[in-house]
Structure formats: structure tokens, C-alpha cells
């Protein structure tokens, strides 16, 4: 039976590297982004390394950070 701390990890636990979590899991995730112009929904990976354009109207939906 899982413990509550395993199901709902603390904020400190969430910030750890993915291999140092109590239960290993990736920090990245998929998200749906809705275009403000044509309202089409596009699924985007949270750590995408390229500029993501809307398939309907070619509006820039997200771009990687310039670090």
C-alpha cells in the first residue's frame, strides 16, 4: 500500500533531478496549447527545442528559452 508522501510528493521532492526522486519519473510533460487566433489545439512537449507553429494559421505558439 503506497504512503501518502509517495502519492503526493513535497515541493522539494518535485524539484529534484528525475533520477533522485523517491519514485523515478521525468520532469517533462506534454501539454495542449490553444492558438489564440484560430482556436486549434496543438499538443506540445514541455521541453521542446524548436519553435512550435500553429498548423492552422502559422502563429508561433511557443519557442525555447534562449539561455
pLDDT in tens, 32-46: 999 999 999 999 998
16 vs 57 pLDDT, higher one: 57
- Nearest CA to 36 out of 62, 7, 18 is that of 62
Overall pTM > 0.85: no
CA 16 to chain centre: 16
Q: Quick check: 28 pLDDT over 70?
A: yes
Q: Quick check: 18 pLDDT over 80?
A: no
| Length of the chain, in residues | 67
**In 1-67, at which residue ranges do the beta strands (DSSP E only) sit?**
30-34, 41-45, 52-53, 60-62
Q: Which CATH architecture has domain 4-62?
A: Single Sheet (2.20)
Amino acid at each position: 500500500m503506497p504512503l501518502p508522501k509517495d502519492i503526493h510528493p513535497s515541493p522539494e521532492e518535485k524539484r529534484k533531478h528525475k533520477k533522485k526522486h523517491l519514485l523515478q519519473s521525468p520532469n517533462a510533460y506534454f501539454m495542449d496549447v490553444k492558438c489564440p487566433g484560430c482556436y486549434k489545439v496543438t499538443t506540445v512537449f514541455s521541453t521542446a527545442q524548436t519553435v512550435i507553429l500553429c498548423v492552422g494559421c502559422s502563429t508561433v505558439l511557443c519557442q525555447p528559452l534562449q539561455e
